[in-house]
Amino acid sequence: MPHRKKKQNPYQVQKLERIHHKKEFLSRLKYLINTIAGEDVCFDVPQIIFDTIYDQRSHSFKVIVSDGSDISIELRRDIRQILLEWIKSTKINLLPDKLDITLNEFYTVGITMYALYNGLSNESIEYVSRFKRGLNDFFTGFDNLFNQSEANLFESLKAFGIISSDIRNSLYWVENQLAESPDQRTGVDNLIIFHSGKLESVTVKINGKIRPLKRVGFAFPREGIIYLTIKPSVLEINSPSSDIPMNVYIQSHALQRLTERLDSFLPGPLHFNLFLSLQDPRVFQDSDNNLLIEYRFFDLRSGYLRVDIVDGMVVIRTFLFITNNGTPEGEKLEKITGLQKLDKKYLAIDKLSSFMNSDIKDNDKVRQIFEDSGCHTLLELYEKMQPLIVKHSDHFDVNLMLNYIASGKDNISSILKSSF
């Protein structure tokens, strides 16, 4: 009868895993130290010092949700999978053209190495003197390296919060923090803390109807939710209270139009750029003297926010795509081509996905039409923002537009037949 293998005790398994982790961690620590020093400066450092620094090490990143934040199970899973994978794959350079390590390794082994360097202070001891001498040049510039790594991590956590956010529902912001390990553990924890919050909501009577409004703001690491205000003077409104800031609100209708018309991007980046556009407003007036604020997607003009002043508030009533009637570019496009509102809808040039999925860049004649009307930023969006684009199956038919304009739009059915 074959001998049945004895099942390992869970405690024994954990003990073996800890032993293995310690061996791997200290091996990597010594490798980095000796590589930086250019010689073996670890060989006569007592083992007890390495045992101690291992107990006081900087631990791997841990994702937690802050108290009071409402984060779905699915989003928590995405946070752990995407962020931790990014941290483990992103590299920084320790030594030019010689030594690269991952961001995760920098925040664990690298910071532990820094603690060991500072902990060995008695340079009258020969091994301490050799150790410090070998690493002195490197750690002289360690603050700059740490600041670069912090900035890299900050921007990435900021980007994850932006992509996850939707001001119609919840805003998310993520930050990292070094903290003493709890629960009798030693060392330092690298925490990634996820927060959530909702924007203030109000209801206001506009044109005799009750409208739900969201106060415009966005969330950022270390700051949380920041709300916007705009002075009337910025909107070219002159009154005794021109320099008193007004809160900014947006109708749900405007958010819906923004999502529908800039349909190649996720809500988070759209709403982040809404915040940026209103933070530095560029003001226009349409032919009916309505106030328009330019909407920029990462500094590329993509449309306009139609705004009114209601009860001392700046209220965004709707979003106009750059080709829509009522925008400066839309008016120029109509003069050049004769295309009116329904024509633009029929040709599918009233939303961004039409441009993102078309071959417009390869047709000089149509490209020139959009450049002459001031809509060239749509072509730049395609070229610069492809990594963020959400693909759609429908697209803008370049030849259909040319035929449509040439025909004077009198025989739509024949054009349709010739397009298939």
Please write the tens of the pLDDT for every residue from 104-124: 999 999 999 999 999 998 888
Contact 108, 57 (CB under 8 A): yes
Write down the mean pLDDT value for the chain.
84
Q: Is the pLDDT of residue 184 over 60?
A: no
pLDDT of residue 6: 60
Please write the tens of the pLDDT for every residue from 195-247: 999 999 999 988 888 989 999 999 999 899 999 999 999 998 887 788 899 99
pLDDT of residue 401: 45
pLDDT of residue 183: 64
Q: Is the pLDDT of residue 419 over 70?
A: no
| Pick from 77-86, 128-137, 170-179: least confident | 77-86
Which of the two residues, 103 and 371, has the higher pLDDT score? 103
pLDDT of residue 76: 82
Please write the tens of the pLDDT for every residue from 263-310: 888 899 999 999 999 999 999 988 888 899 999 988 889 999 999 999
Span 320-348, mean pLDDT? Answer: 80
pLDDT of residue 357: 63
How does residue 341 score in pLDDT terms, banded at 50, 70 and 90? confident
pLDDT of residue 378: 78
